[in-house]
Structure formats: structure tokens, C-alpha cells
Amino acid sequence: MVRGHRPGQDMYGRAVQVIWHWKRSIAVAALLGALAALAFGSGTAERVTSGRGSAPASESARAAAVPGSPAATGNLLLLYRSVQRTATDPRFDRAVLASLDAIPPRAVQEPPRSAARRVSKDGHALLVVLRLSAHDALAKTRAYHLIERHADVPALHAAGLTLSLGGGVAADDQITGAAAEDLARAETLAFPLLLLMLVVVFRGMVAATLPLLLGGLSVAFSLAVLRALAAAIEVSSLALNIVTLLGLGLAVDYALFIVSRFREELSRGADERTALARTYASAGRTVAVSGLIVLVSLAGLLCVPIAALRSVGIGGMTVVAFNVAAALTVLPALLALLGRRVDALSTNRLRGRGPRADGTGPWARVARQVMRRPLTVLGGSAVLLALMGAPFLHAQYGMRITAMLPESSPAHVVSKTLERDFPGTTPFAVAAVLPADRAPAPPALDGYLIAVRQVPGVTGATALAPGPGGVVNVAIASRLD
């Protein structure tokens, strides 16, 4: 706040008056609202998808719109394997049929017994390709879960068979599940480490808990919003990651501005209400402008017609909005309630001194050293960043989504098994869809397949059975790593 400002004379001063008057109500309402939002948003991970979609105007999207196209529904690969038995063994066959008969008919387009099959080169594995009846991403996931629950029948285990589910839909769901587990694990590890770091930065336990409370509120409300949006639009699991990442990061950033300034004003002798007004007019203004800039930056992702990127924008904007709102309402209310007790359990008090506002603290010394040697610090920082980013020079790009999964995941197992035991087969083949009005005659189709097989990276091209309306589907197996 500028010198000479009188609290209450502008928008920020009036906001402080309202917050000071309703501080207890604001704190209680925030707590109850966060608990309700957390209860509602706890099931968000079950309603998001991988977001691995296509732009509406892309060739893959046009192929998916053609009736009878495999891309319109999605394939689910069932891999049956036995160490002792071969696929020609009657017990192997009976166990597979029992598994296929247990699949609910509503989950697939055709009877599971009539689905395409292929035996591995060693004869100990059987691949069954099911075409899901669903079309949108969430419905495909539900159909996959339905098959997953029913297909693993006791007859398989009795005959010594194992069942692994793979393909794009299975991999997408397993990626989403792995992301949710990793997110929970990261939060479990991050909160204690973050609290320890904040105690060092804020030099006090009470002050250090405020950013975590702010981040928890923002994340809880954002998850509730994402769950509500997932009922109407496709929301990618990436939104969950961005909510946690930005929620905690911005909470620390904004709380550092506001709490530090509030403690500075108190250390200068201001009363609690005046300190809050000055803090709100300076640090509060900074938080508002910073949040607005981040919101505008993320808004551009809403124009991208791909669910994964659009979800990053939605999740990011949601958590930023809640972070700014909480930093400008709930956090000041908590500071008003705490007053000078914000310095309770302070490490400075244990050492016999309070917060420094005279520029003699450790951060002030670091700042002075940086200003004395700006070019040296800039050059050293650039070298350090370059060294940290050097491993990225060896990054390899590809389309094999199972590379994102652990080797023990079913989709990864299926992918590796197909590469090893089913030559010319890949779980993520490129499908060339030729509508009837443009489909080549049989001789020309043979020439087309020969030309496709000569494309670098292609391991095979096969014309599938004609779909509805004479649509010709061509499965192109390729190395996508």
C-alpha cells in the first residue's frame, strides 16, 4: 500500500471492512463448503477419461464418423494364455468359451463367440478382438469395465489360463487409474515435505499451515467443479494433475505475499485491522492481478478442440479462480481471526527475535548479493538450468501409449505379447477407412495394400471384412515407438 492511504477509502478498504466484520462466518462457511466439495468431488477420478481424442476436423475423427469403422467404436483385446496348454487343447477352448459367454451382450457389437481370433506362434496364447458397442469415451470405458468384471471367470483359473485386457480403451482406462494412484501418492508425500519447507520459509508453524489450508480449499472446490463438468463434457485425467499442481503452487505463492506482508505490518507496530487493510491494498492487489494474468493465459486452451488440452485449461482456470478467491476472502478472514497469533510457534521466537522488517534477514542478504553480481548470477543460473534440461535432448517421441504404463499393467503385457508372439499385429493399428463410394475395386485394393506395406515403419496391412454399407476397413500394423 502507498504511504498515506487510509483504510476504508477505496474498494480494497471496503472489502477489508466486510471481511473483518464477517471473518468468523467466512471461515466457517469455507470449512463447511470445502467438506461438502470434497465429499462430492472425491469420485471425480472415476468420471474422467484419458482425453486421447482427435480434433473434430482431423482425418481420424472423420474415419470415426463412418458407420462400420473400427475407429467409431474401439477394439478391446482379450489375451488368453496358458503355460501348460495350447489353444488347440479342449480345456483351453472350453475355458475361453466360458469367458466369452459371460460377457454381457450389450457391451459388444457382435456375439463374443463370433469375434475375430488369432493364435500365437507358440500356440500357448489366443487373441480375441471384441468391438465395443459404445461410441463416446466414457461409454467405452464403462463397457470395458463391464467386460473386465465378467470375463475373468473361474473356469479360466481352473484350466490354468490367465486373461489380460489390452487395446486403446483398456490402456486409456489403466492410464487414468495409474494417474489417480500416482496423484494420491504424490499428495501424500508432498504435503509433509511442503509443510516442512513452509516452516523454514515462514519461520513459524501457524503461518506455515495457512498456504496448505488455502491449497486444500482450492483443490477441493475445483474437484467438485470438475466432477459436475464431467457429467456434461469429456474431462481428461490431466485436469486432476493440473488442479493439484497449480492448487498447491499458487496457494504457496499467494499466501507468501499476503502472510508475509501482514506480519511485516504487525512488526512495524500497526494494529491488526490496519495491518490487514494495508496488506489487502498491496499484496491483495498483486494476487488479484497475478491471478487474472494466469486465467487469461490458460483461457487459450479452451479453444483447442482436443479434450486433453481443453481439460488442462478448464482445470487450470478453475483452480486459479478458487485460489484467488480464497486468497482474497478466506485467508484475510483467517488472519483477522489470528491477529498476532499468526506468529505463534515461531522459530524466531525460540531464538529470541521476531520477524524482521528492516531488510536484515537472510532473504535480504541473498537479494543484495544478487544485485551486486547480476551477470554472474544470471550466467550461473542459465548454466544450471541447461544442465537440468540436458536429459530432455534424448527424449523420444512416439504414439505407443502403453509406454506410459508400468510393465505389469495388463495393457502393457498385451502390447509386448503381441509384438513377441503375434507377428504383424499391434494393439494400436492405424485404420484406413475407405467409404463405399471411394473404395477401390479388389485388384486396386490389392495394389493399395502393397503400397501401404512399403511405407517405412509399417509391418503389415490387411483388408478386414467389409462393414455396413460396403465400407472397407484396412488394419495397418506399424512400429509406433
Task: Indicate the domain borders of the chain.
Answer: 7-42+203-346, 73-171, 422-478
DSSP per residue, 202-240: HTBHHHHHHHHHHHHHHHHHHHHHHHHHHTTS--BTHHH
- What's residue 221's pLDDT? 95
Lowest average pLDDT, out of 299-313, 394-408, 440-454, goes to 394-408
Sign, CA torsion 4/8/13/19: positive
Query: What percentage of the chain carries pLDDT values higher than 90?
Result: 27
CATH number of 73-171: 3.30.70.600
The rounded mean pLDDT for the chain is 81
* Residues written for the chain: 481
Burial class (CB in 10 A: 0-12, 13-18, 19+), 202: buried
- What's residue 315's pLDDT? 93
Within 8 A by CB and 6+ apart from 324, the residues are 254, 287, 288, 291, 292
What does the alpha-carbon distance between residue 15 and residue 109 come to, in Å, rounded to a whole number? 60
pLDDT band at 351 (very low <50, low <70, confident <90, very high): very low
8 Å CB contact between 425 and 462 = no
Instruction: Specify the amino acid at residue 160.
Output: G
What does the alpha-carbon distance between residue 58 and residue 294 come to, in Å, rounded to a whole number? 30
Give the pTM: 0.72
Tens-digit pLDDT profile for residues 253-293: 999 899 989 988 888 888 888 889 999 889 889 999 999 99
Tens-digit pLDDT profile for residues 139-157: 788 888 899 999 889 999 8
CATH number of 7-42+203-346: 1.20.1640.10
* Predicted confidence (pLDDT) at residue 219 exceeds the cutoff of 90: yes
What does the alpha-carbon distance between residue 12 and residue 310 come to, in Å, rounded to a whole number? 34
Instruction: Specify the amino acid at residue 341.
Output: R
- What's residue 352's pLDDT? 44
Range among 3-17, 31-45, 316-330, 450-464 with highest mean pLDDT value: 316-330
* Predicted confidence (pLDDT) at residue 350 exceeds the cutoff of 50: no
Topology alike, domains 7-42+203-346 and 73-171: no
Q: Which residues pair with 81 in a beta bridge?
A: 125, 162
